[in-house]
Amino acid sequence: MRSRVAGAVGTGALVVGVAVAAYPALLRTRCLTWGATSDEINRQMPGDDLLPDPDIVATRAVTVAAPPHAIWPWLVQMGSGRGGVYTYDWIENLFGLGMHSANEILPQFQDLEVGDVLPVGSKGPRMKVEVLDPAEALVFCSTDGTWVWAFGLYPDDGNTRLVSRNRIATPNASVARQLVNLLVMEPGSLVMEAKMLNGIKERAERLGSKSTTTA
């Protein structure tokens, strides 16, 4: 029995060791740059100056077959108790974030302004609107200055490239915390953000097609 337990522990330790070694070398760049081109990864975006020396930068993107103005309302209404974030609500709500992703434009949440502060759940960070350039750029910064989340809308041959960039600082993080960030939070953020970007894409394309039909 003891030998089986020891064997299981040894196998678990080996798996963790392989993951720790393989992820940074083989998978991390793909995880942090999902869907983005090299130009988008290296491009200066609004909000970069708000956190010039982050510990983590993730730039992810998707092509939306709709103009920027069809995407913008979905971005503006995002947030807890607002339009949600178009990802896996049940996961978000395990952490008490109060996310309920809307499938329609919510007029009551379309009047976002620079300086507005939006909470991420009751215990999460508070995100301040720092840049609001309609149909071009929307940037939030946490009030503690450790997280900048920017969205850029870039026209591309009749489509729009929707680019999301997260810049995160982890001051005084312990070694254990750094490992959790590296092996759990970063891959987890890809799962959630890919779902979010595709969720916005689906909604905006639906809105864009309705606008074209109406016209």
Q: Are residues 14 and 60 in the same domain?
A: no
In this structure, the answer to whether residues 2 and 100 fall within a common structural domain is: no
CA distance 185 to 165: 15
Domain membership of residue 9 as a residue range: 1-31
Task: Return the pLDDT at 124.
Answer: 79
Report the chain (215 residues): mean pLDDT per 10 consecutive residues.
49 53 70 96 97 95 97 96 92 84 96 94 88 98 96 96 96 76 77 96 84 51
Question: So what's the pLDDT on residue 8?
Answer: 47
Q: Are residues 147 and 65 in the same domain?
A: yes
Is 164 exposed, middle or buried, given 0-12, 13-18 or 19+ CB atoms closer than 10 A?
buried
Report the 3 state secondary structure along the chain: CHHHHHHHHHHHHHHHHHHHHHHHHHHHHHHHCCCCCHHHHHCCCCCHHHCCCCCEEEEEEEEECCCHHHHHHHHHCCECCCCECCCCHHHHHHCCCCCCCCCCCCHHHCCCCCCCEEECCCCCCEEEEEEEECCCEEEEEECCCCEEEEEEEEEECCEEEEEEEEEECCCCCCHHHHHHHHHHHHHHHHHHHHHHHHHHHHHHHHHHHHHHHHC
| Number of domains present in the structure of the chain | 2
Is there a single domain that holds both residue 117 and residue 157?
Answer: yes
Among the listed residues 29, 55, 54, the one whose alpha carbon sits nearest the alpha carbon of residue 41: 29
Structure tokens at 178: 């750094």
48 and 25 together in one domain = no
| Whether residue 26 is found in the same domain as residue 81 | no
Determine the pLDDT at residue 193.
Answer: 95
What gap in Å lies between CA 99 and CA 86, rounded to an integer?
9
**Domain co-membership, 102 together with 182:** yes
Residues 155 and 205 in one domain: yes
The Cα–Cα gap between 125 and 199 comes to: 23
**Does residue 27 share a domain with residue 83?**
no
Instruction: For residues 89 and 195, state if they share a domain.
Output: yes
- Quick: pLDDT tens for 81-138: 999 999 999 888 887 888 899 999 999 999 999 999 998 877 778 999 999 999 999 9
Q: For residue 73, what is the domain's CATH number?
A: 3.30.530.20
Q: Determine the pLDDT at residue 68.
A: 97
Same domain, 52 and 1: no
Is residue 12 located within the same domain as residue 39?
no
